[in-house]
Structure 1
Amino acid sequence: MSRLTLERQQVWIYLAAIVCGLALGSVAPNVAPRFETLLWPVLAALLYTTFVQVPLLHVRDAFRDRRFVLATLLGNFVLIPLVVWLILQWLPVDPALRLGVLLVLLVPCTDWFITFTQLGRGNTARAIAVTPLNLLLQLLLLPLYLWLMLPAADFSAALKTEEMLPAALALIGLPLVAAALTERWFEAKTERAVWRERLGWWPVPLLAVVVFLIAGAQVGTVLDAGPVLLTVLPVFVGFLLVAALLALGLTQWLRLPLEVGRTLAFSLGTRNSFVVLPFALALPAGWETTVVVIVFQSLVELFGMVFYLRWLPHRLFKSPPVAV
């Protein structure tokens, strides 16, 4: 099996992992504490292997195509937050649900965004170049977005817990620093580049383990969250459609090439669910629905990307026929 084949089949791998986790958690509920303990190191490993694929030391490369960078920044950090704020007005007044939606929709993806760009006939070089910029900006701006969009009481209750922020920031910060040091080690000698490729195999199986552990540890919450998930399903589907149309509008306004427009659509449509998972997992008791909403969005998104692969290159960003 090639790495590309593995990434193409990842949606089915994650679904199988969730089903297995729910089944095991149902028949053996005593595994929940062990799964919760295992989840943190596995998630740290997932973040590290994913960050290693991001050219963290080459943020300046993103600015070579200024129109694409402008479109990406406007789309991901101005227009998408406005869309999410509008979505929030139509959601039930459930703080855990709203926080899950905010966390998962406000941050652009840094991993399978590149894979789907490649599969969907986008510009992979542009995707790779802009990824570290997206990662750094989302980590800086997410607290501001949450402060602006959450009621003060919910913000204080969920995100200012003394035990929560240090744990979540450490879980993201340590893999990020380790990945930057690893990238520097890779670039010291060209023959070390093979290790980047080897580490690139790990995000899919590690994410499968993460969702398996979450399903097994939170089986009760998952089963009770059925009505909640039905509420957010049309929200997540609608978000994918709106993101693609925003990308089309920005592409036409800035006169971007079609393949760059497809790249922009994949950037706006994919979200960074596993990067915000540490924040959700570190929330106080009573906020477990936030985790379920984030994992559910990632599954909806993966099916949405299968649709994107047909819709974007063949319909929305279709190349004109070549004149004979």
Structure 2
Amino acid sequence: MAVAAGLLIDVPEARLFTTPVLGALLFVTFLSIPLRGLRIDARFLTVLALLNFVIVPLVVGAITWPLRDDGAVHAAVLLVLLAPCIDYVIAFSGLAGGARDQLLAATPFLLLGQMLLLPLYLGMFLGSSEVLAPGPFLEAFLLLIVVPLVLAALAQRSRWADVWERAGEKSMTPLMMATLFLVMAGYSAGALGEWRELLAPAATYVVFAGVMVVLGWTVAGVARLSTSARVSATFSAVTRNSLVVLPFALAMPGDLAPVVVVSQTLVELLVMVAMVWAVPHMVRRSGV
């Protein structure tokens, strides 16, 4: 309902509220995680690195080949698909039964990996050696991970920890719906206005999600991750850092690149909603 309502309402000002509401969503997500016992699982981290920094670039290189004649579109699609998500993937994977704590512990490594490797991959695919500034990545990490995480840790240590936890549980779904609505309402008009130019990128995003669901689930299974870690690894393989790389797209020549990046967010949110329903069914059918 939130997705449909957002698509029907054109409110560009909604973009101003996207980051604060997403930060609030991650705050209540972190509240439900026992932060004192947070530890890094080396096998899980290895699987995430393999999926996001080895397999994803190979898949992206293959499925974006038909877009290579349109330089601006090709560059924007590469930019968004090569950067793994570090924020709302934690909340979505948790809704599907994923290991939110392990994914949270891995976010600094995902952030550092994409900051170092994204310029390299773009140079390989586009022949450009231009280095991306780290500012947007660090800003997103600070506002959407560090601040909510510190606040959640303080809340868990306070005398009102139980009150905070109950409030977080009650507000999780409304905040998720608000996030979906704000992104759709804030960005859908621009994407729909350029729908002809976005058909090929949108199809590429759908293909990417389908391929990475299968590969993420398979690789995590071969690595013998726990069921919850396998779910989170699959979500990480699919979910991209579109809202974080948007400033880079805005700096590209022409007006289409930002819309191409935003359209990935719209496609991805629909995919995430579907995955929250489908992945638990995959778990039951596989018997893990």
Q: 1:14 is matched with which residue?
A: 3
- Residue 314 of structure 1 deviates from its aligned partner by 3.9
Counterpart AA for 2:234: A
* Whole-angstrom CA distance in 1 between matches of 2:73 and 2:103: 31
Deviations 1:166-211 (A, max 9, x none): 6x46853652554455345435525257188287553541452243
Counterpart AA for 1:268: A
Deviations 1:87-112 (A, max 9, x none): 22222422332233223322333444
- Residue 140 of structure 1 deviates from its aligned partner by 4.6
Segments of 5+ residues of structure 1 without an aligned counterpart are 1-11, 25-34
State the secondary structure of the residue aligned to 1:152: coil
* Whole-angstrom CA distance in 2 between matches of 1:295 and 1:212: 12
* Whole-angstrom CA distance in 1 between matches of 2:177 and 2:38: 27
- Residue 243 of structure 1 deviates from its aligned partner by 1.3
Going from structure 1 to structure 2, the CA distance change for 1:48 and 1:74 (only over 3 Å counts) comes to same
Deviations 1:267-291 (A, max 9, x none): 2122233333344345555234334
* Whole-angstrom CA distance in 2 between matches of 1:183 and 1:120: 21
Counterpart AA for 1:213: G
- Residue 152 of structure 1 deviates from its aligned partner by 2.1
Contact 1:43–1:210 (CA under 8 A) maintained in structure 2: yes
Going from structure 1 to structure 2, the CA distance change for 1:97 and 1:214 (only over 3 Å counts) comes to same
Q: Does 1:49 align with 2:24?
A: yes
Q: 2:287 is matched with which residue?
A: 319
Going from structure 1 to structure 2, the CA distance change for 1:190 and 1:140 (only over 3 Å counts) comes to farther
Contact 2:202–2:264 (CA under 8 A) maintained in structure 1: no
Q: Does 1:89 align with 2:59?
A: no
State how 1:50-199 maps to structure 2 within 5 Å.
50=25, 52=27, 53=29, 61-63=38-40, 65-152=41-128, 168=136, 172=140, 175-176=143-144, 178-179=147-148, 181-183=150-152, 185-186=154-155, 188-189=157-158, 191=160, 194=164, 197=168
Contact 1:84–1:106 (CA under 8 A) maintained in structure 2: yes
Q: Does 1:296 align with 2:285?
A: no
State how 1:248-263 maps to structure 2 within 5 Å.
248-263=217-232
Matched pairs, number = 280
Going from structure 1 to structure 2, the CA distance change for 1:118 and 1:18 (only over 3 Å counts) comes to same
Going from structure 1 to structure 2, the CA distance change for 1:61 and 1:99 (only over 3 Å counts) comes to farther
- Residue 319 of structure 1 deviates from its aligned partner by 0.7
Deviations 1:275-323 (A, max 9, x none): 33344345555234334433333244235425633652244xx117xxx
* Whole-angstrom CA distance in 2 between matches of 1:278 and 1:310: 34
Segments of 5+ residues of structure 2 without an aligned counterpart are none
Contact 1:47–1:172 (CA under 8 A) maintained in structure 2: no
Deviations 1:106-128 (A, max 9, x none): 23334443444344444444344
CA RMSD across the alignment? 3.9
**TM-score, scaled to structure 2:** 0.74
More displaced, 89-98 or 126-135? 126-135
Contact 1:113–1:270 (CA under 8 A) maintained in structure 2: yes
Q: Does 1:208 align with 2:176?
A: no
**TM-score, scaled to structure 1:** 0.67
- Residue 239 of structure 1 deviates from its aligned partner by 1.7
Going from structure 1 to structure 2, the CA distance change for 1:299 and 1:202 (only over 3 Å counts) comes to closer
Going from structure 1 to structure 2, the CA distance change for 1:152 and 1:133 (only over 3 Å counts) comes to closer
Going from structure 1 to structure 2, the CA distance change for 1:313 and 1:141 (only over 3 Å counts) comes to same
* Whole-angstrom CA distance in 1 between matches of 2:179 and 2:21: 6
